[in-house]
Structure 1
């Protein structure tokens, strides 16, 4: 029987604040609760950098502004950006810090998953067009089985979210709602 992990991706307070869906955290919380009840491990990936952002090249369109701002200001430290307290990790949960969009890039996620015998990933998080898309593509190339919980993902553009979960993701992953996935555990 495949060993699976629920991955909660980029659900950090500063990121959650940028998304308008007031019910998002409660849906994600239901997925986390269902996983815990079923004995499915819950792991987290968060984006983070060292003081001064030495991991970020100025050409990087997504993160380069952070590095430039660190050069210009006295605060060369990344602002605190913890996982949102409504869905915070428990002590037994694995938390991975990543340095790029994909949860695999610049992290030890693949090594940890393989060491734990995990071969199935259930993806949740913010943003559908960012960390979910990038992680799904890389995980598929690494031969993981994949499920995306469509209503436990969020994106600033609802149409982009819809196209990804209805047309793009099904080519490489199963797509389910939190309720349907939880009912199958």
Structure 2
């Protein structure tokens, strides 16, 4: 495996939906732990970090297509969309709220990354095959280089997670583990 040689002036860490309601429903404690290590790495290197959450104004802004497997429509707790408190979110970090799976469509993510000269994103979060993969596909179409941290993401099932990591992400960028990324950049 080649050394990552991350240029923190051109690389952003983008964390998808590591918010109380999603982390709790997915058993995402391990994902948050790995993500926290990446956040620390980017803070140490003055890197740009984007914390993405999904939230809705009144529910009318929520996608509701006809599908074979409808989304659960349940009342969520008031703190459902709040980012996990274990993440070390600072004033210099960027917070972004999305209204669908992908973090680019309908947001200013591309604009904020380009204004800062970013050409690469390190991507992680929940859910691997929904929010992370949708964001990855959008980023690919915008021409970003991508690094996927496979042990800092999770899906509803291991099968869904593995499908994205094995078949989709290698075609969109590079797949790595958190320890590999942190170890290679701290040498």
* TM range, smaller chain: 0.7 to 0.9
**How many aligned positions are there?**
175
- What do the CA deviations read for 1:142-163 (whole angstroms, capped 9, x no partner)? 1001010000111111122112
User: In the alignment, which residue of structure 1 is the partner of 2:3?
Assistant: none
2: distance between equivalents of 1:55 and 1:22? Answer: 29
Secondary structure of the structure 2 residue equivalent to 1:86? coil
User: In the alignment, which residue of structure 2 is the partner of 1:72?
Assistant: none
User: In the alignment, which residue of structure 1 is the partner of 2:60?
Assistant: 54
**Relative to structure 1, is the Cα distance of residues 41 and 57 closer, same or farther in structure 2, using a 3 angstrom cutoff?**
closer
2: distance between equivalents of 1:43 and 1:27? Answer: 16
> Is residue 18–residue 83 contact of structure 2 (8 Å, CA) maintained in 1?
yes
Structure 1 length normalisation: TM-score? Answer: 0.85
Structure 2 length normalisation: TM-score? Answer: 0.84
Secondary structure of the structure 1 residue equivalent to 2:26? coil
> Is residue 10–residue 117 contact of structure 2 (8 Å, CA) maintained in 1?
yes
Cα RMSD over matched residues?
A: 2.2
User: In the alignment, which residue of structure 2 is the partner of 1:154?
Assistant: 154
2: distance between equivalents of 1:150 and 1:98? Answer: 22
User: In the alignment, which residue of structure 2 is the partner of 1:32?
Assistant: 39
Structure 1 ranges of 4+ moved more than 4 A? 60-64
Segments of structure 2 that go 5 or more residues without pairing to the other structure are 1-6
> Is residue 56–residue 64 contact of structure 1 (8 Å, CA) maintained in 2?
no
1: distance between equivalents of 2:122 and 2:88? Answer: 17
User: In the alignment, which residue of structure 1 is the partner of 2:50?
Assistant: 43
Task: Report how far residue 60 of structure 1 moved.
Answer: 6.4
Task: Report how far residue 30 of structure 1 moved.
Answer: 1.1
Secondary structure of the structure 1 residue equivalent to 2:25? coil
Segments of structure 1 that go 5 or more residues without pairing to the other structure are 70-76
